Amino acid sequence: MPINIPDGLPAKSILHQERIFALEEEVAAKQQIRPLRVAILNLMPTKIETETQILRLISKSPLQVSCDFMRTSTHESTHVSADHLVKFYDTFDKFQDKCYDGLIITGAPVEHLEFDQVDYWDEFCKIVDWSQTHVLSTMFLCWGAMGALWHLYRIPKRILGKKLFGVFPQRLCDEYNFLTNGFDEVHYMPHSRHAALDTVELAKHPELRVLSEGFNSGPAIIATRDFHEIYVTGHFEYGRDTLADEYWRDFHKGLPINLPQNYFPDDDPENQPIFTWRAHANLLYRNWLNWVYQMTPYDIDQIPAEITRLRANSDGMVDKF
């Protein structure tokens, strides 16, 4: 797809090498269509790697998408240069008066902490609250999903006795849902986390539907009936080698780390992992952008009114279930 991303972003040259078409900003501005506007709140320490992974998935849709990157102002990133952040990222104050068709909030390696112990928790909550009225649809990933579900619904997380680490099979719960349309009955998703959702509390919220769930890894994709909020507890965005890089990083540091499950052929970390989740990852993001494109108003300033309309319709749907 023609994806419009800032000139000079490292991800652009990588995507060009993968034969993914990325528009130059000047060319995109001349096209007689309104591109979808998607903001990305990148909470991962590996900013450039995460940017590339998410943009790679967004690029698989035939729609033109313009992406803006957001960062928190209450946390100092140490794994990426300050120049990169200044050049390509803005803090929330630059976004709060704007509307967006979509927002992606990534995970962060902080799930072992209580939510209020995370140094940017208050700012995270402020951004989630803003998305409720200014973004047509938000996709929350891993810790971002856990944090938003706690903030909006008071669904707690629980610390696991052992890190959930590997690629796990997920069972499709609703084959006719628009978001998972085209999914196989079993699909795979990478997970790398120390916490899980409290499924007893989750079941108390009929406005939230579990669209796929792991046989051992718990709910995988959750969404409100109007798709205003989408929660993905794993990492569909991960590349083939992301879990391998994490494994070898901790191994060489002498940290306790188990082999990721269902990942290395013959459980041999010298073997190249098999990319078993790529097709469904592409499909999820394509379905999401397709839904956003069909529902978003042409006048982007009308998004708050459209959110209100969709929410009212979905409230009626919940009553029927």
Q: Where in the sequence numbering do the catalytic residues fall?
A: 142, 235, 237
Beta carbons within 8 Å of 308's beta carbon, 6+ residues apart: none
Query: What is the DSSP pairing of strand 229-232 with strand 135-141?
Result: parallel
Beta-ladder partners of 102:
38, 137
Secondary structure class of 231 (helix, strand, coil): strand
Task: Judge contact between 109 and 152, C-beta under 8 A.
Answer: no
Instruction: Let me know how long the chain is.
Output: 321
Q: Does residue 162 contact residue 193 with C-beta atoms inside 8 Å?
A: no
Those residues whose C-beta lies under 8 Å from the C-beta of residue 23, and which sit 6 or more positions away, are 2, 3, 4, 31, 64
Contact 70, 122 (CB under 8 A): no
C-alpha–C-alpha distance, residues 105 and 127, integer Å: 10
Question: What is the three-class DSSP state of 282?
Answer: helix
The answer to whether residues 167 and 217 touch, using CB atoms and an 8 Å cutoff, is no
Strands (E), 92-185: 100-105, 135-141, 157-172
Query: Which residues does 184 contact at the CB level (< 8 Å), separation at least 6?
Result: 172, 280
Cβ pair 151, 127 in contact under 8 A: no
